[in-house]
């Protein structure tokens, strides 16, 4: 129950040196080998573990980096997290994960924690394009990388995918497959990914006007990037006088809800075309197989971490935005309306 079992002073006393020397032993200063060894031994004997809080206070920087994601239950983000971890693994930094739950308040709190705990760096997939404020962090010189989602006006490095282009390619694919009433279920209006993917959808529809494709916002729904939101939005679309014959769903979890809603009314792909932006988790179990825009989630995380590490090492190169490519993986769920 003692508070600090053993400090650097105790080690110093045991080894017959000053605390400064003990510190140098553990931080690579110049110390005579013999003395260094006796310090090591004393530390081991006493079970000394450095107080990271005191160290952070003095160094004005801790040795952990924060990864703030909006939905820990979305495999896309956990895969991204793995990428970040694996990149950090090679350094002495630890990664802690914070789940903002798409809630800007929670997110703000975590950003405050990151600032107050003097974290060495922050990677954030922003809950909101407008409300996420990275200013305090950047103002204090904390390296920050925005991943997947880009807060507006933030002066930070960024890594994302070509959302707009991916959305356009996906929608065009539905057009070519023969669908004519193509709906879009996208995410919350505040998120950059929602907007971009929707923009891609709109662009594709716009250029397909002559082909008799309905381009109408009556077929656009904003949901919450979660299963339930997708389900509700799909139900809503199905209740239209003239329901869509295909749907472009802007993320993986909402696609699950969409498939559920379709199942409820006995309709299945590809009779109704379903195209997911982002692979549905464990898609191998889903029948029919799902056409999806594949996202390099792991690489997104790894790239973000690499960028962050560069900045932490003092790189002063101008801010950069890395855009990773998505690829459309065509499978059975968009085989066309006529086949069914």
Partner DNA sequence: CCTGCCGCTGAAAAGGATTTCATCCCTTGA
Partner DNA sequence: TCAAGGGATGAAATCCTTTTCAGCGGCAGG
Chain positions contacting a second copy, by CB under 8 A = 1-5, 47, 49-54, 56-57, 60, 62, 64, 66, 72-73, 75, 78-79, 81-82, 85, 94-99, 101, 109-110, 112-113, 115-118, 136, 139-141, 227, 256, 259-260, 263, 280-282, 284-287
Residue 95's H or E segment, with its range, is strand 94-99
What is the nearest approach in angstroms of DNA to the Cβ of residue 287?
57
Alpha-carbon span 276 to 279, nearest angstrom:
7
| Candidate segments 24-32, 64-72, 190-198, 226-234, binder of DNA by CB under 7 A | 24-32
Residue environment code for 292-310, b if the CB has 16+ CB neighbours within 10 A, otherwise e: bbbbbbbbbbbbbbbbbbe
The site partner of 28 among DNA, a second copy, none (C-beta below 5 to 8 Å per kind) is none
How many residues lie near DNA (CB under 7 A)? Answer: 30
Peptide bond into 285 cis (omega under 30): no
Is 34 in a helix, a strand, or coil?
A: helix
Asked if residue 92 binds DNA (CB under 7 A), the reply is no
What is the nearest approach in angstroms of DNA to the Cβ of residue 28?
9
Residue 20's H or E segment, with its range, is helix 19-27
**4 CB contacts (<8 Å, ≥6 apart)?**
51
The site partner of 66 among a second copy, DNA, none (C-beta below 5 to 8 Å per kind) is a second copy
Q: Are 228 and 253 in contact (CB under 8 A)?
A: no
Nearer to a second copy, 162 or 299 (CB): 299
Q: Are 235 and 272 in contact (CB under 8 A)?
A: no
| Structure token digits, residue 161 | 């995918």
Tell me whether strands 327-329 and 291-294 are parallel, antiparallel or unpaired. Answer: antiparallel
Is 162 in a helix, a strand, or coil?
A: coil
Nearer to a second copy, 25 or 80 (CB): 80
Asked if residue 254 binds DNA (CB under 7 A), the reply is no
Peptide bond into 316 cis (omega under 30): no
Residue 86: alpha-carbon gap to chain centroid: 15
Asked if residue 37 binds DNA (CB under 7 A), the reply is no
Asked if residue 276 binds DNA (CB under 7 A), the reply is no
The site partner of 115 among a second copy, DNA, none (C-beta below 5 to 8 Å per kind) is a second copy
Alpha-carbon span 146 to 156, nearest angstrom:
7
Terminal CA-to-CA distance of the chain, rounded, Å? 70
Pick from 13, 40, 46, 50: which binds DNA (CB under 7 A)? Answer: 50
| Structure token digits, residue 207 | 């250029």
| Candidate segments 50-58, 74-82, 181-189, 248-256, binder of DNA by CB under 7 A | 50-58
| Candidate segments 22-30, 87-95, 214-222, 266-274, binder of DNA by CB under 7 A | 22-30
What is the nearest approach in angstroms of a second copy to the Cβ of residue 215?
30
Nearer to a second copy, 72 or 199 (CB): 72
Asked if residue 248 binds DNA (CB under 7 A), the reply is no
Alpha-carbon span 115 to 119, nearest angstrom:
6
Nearer to DNA, 43 or 145 (CB): 43
Which residues pair with residue 246 across a beta bridge? Answer: 182, 273
Nearer to DNA, 26 or 179 (CB): 26
Q: Which residues bind DNA (CB under 7 A)?
A: 3-4, 7-9, 16-24, 26-27, 29-32, 35, 48, 50-51, 54-55, 57-60
């Amino acid at each position: 129950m003692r508070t600090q079992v053993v400090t650097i002073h105790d080690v110093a006393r045991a080894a017959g040196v000053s605390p400064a020397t003990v510190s140098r032993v553990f931080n690579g200063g110049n110390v005579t080998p013999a003395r260094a060894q006796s310090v090591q031994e004393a530390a081991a004997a006493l079970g000394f573990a450095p107080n990271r809080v005191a160290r952070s206070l003095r160094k004005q920087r801790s040795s952990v980096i924060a990864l703030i994601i909006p939905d820990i239950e979305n495999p896309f983000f956990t895969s991204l997290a793995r990428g970040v971890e694996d990149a950090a693994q090679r350094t002495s930094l630890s990664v802690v994960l914070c789940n903002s739950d798409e809630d800007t308040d929670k997110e703000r709190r975590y950003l405050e924690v990151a600032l107050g705990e003097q974290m060495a760096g922050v990677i954030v997939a922003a809950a909101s394009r407008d409300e996420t404020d990275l200013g305090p962090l950047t103002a204090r010189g904390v390296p920050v990388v925005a991943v997947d989602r880009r807060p507006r006006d933030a002066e930070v490095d960024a890594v994302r995918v070509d959302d707009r282009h991916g959305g356009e390619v996906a929608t065009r694919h539905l057009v070519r497959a023969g669908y004519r009433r193509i709906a879009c279920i996208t995410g919350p209006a505040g998120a950059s990914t929602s907007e971009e993917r929707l923009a891609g959808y709109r662009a594709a529809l716009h250029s397909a006007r002559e082909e008799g494709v309905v381009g109408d916002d009556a077929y656009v729904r904003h949901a919450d990037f979660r299963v339930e939101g997708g389900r509700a939005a799909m139900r809503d679309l199905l209740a239209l006088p003239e329901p869509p014959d295909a749907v472009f769903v802007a993320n993986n979890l909402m696609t699950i809800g969409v498939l559920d809603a379709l199942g409820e009314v006995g309709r299945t792909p590809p009779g109704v075309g379903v195209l997911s932006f982002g692979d549905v988790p464990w898609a191998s179990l889903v029948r029919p197989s799902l056409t999806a825009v594949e996202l390099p989630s792991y690489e997104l995380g790894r790239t973000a971490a690499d960028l962050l590490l560069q900045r932490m090492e003092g790189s002063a190169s101008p801010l950069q935005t890395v855009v990773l490519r998505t690829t459309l993986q065509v499978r059975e769920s968009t085989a066309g309306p006529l086949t069914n």
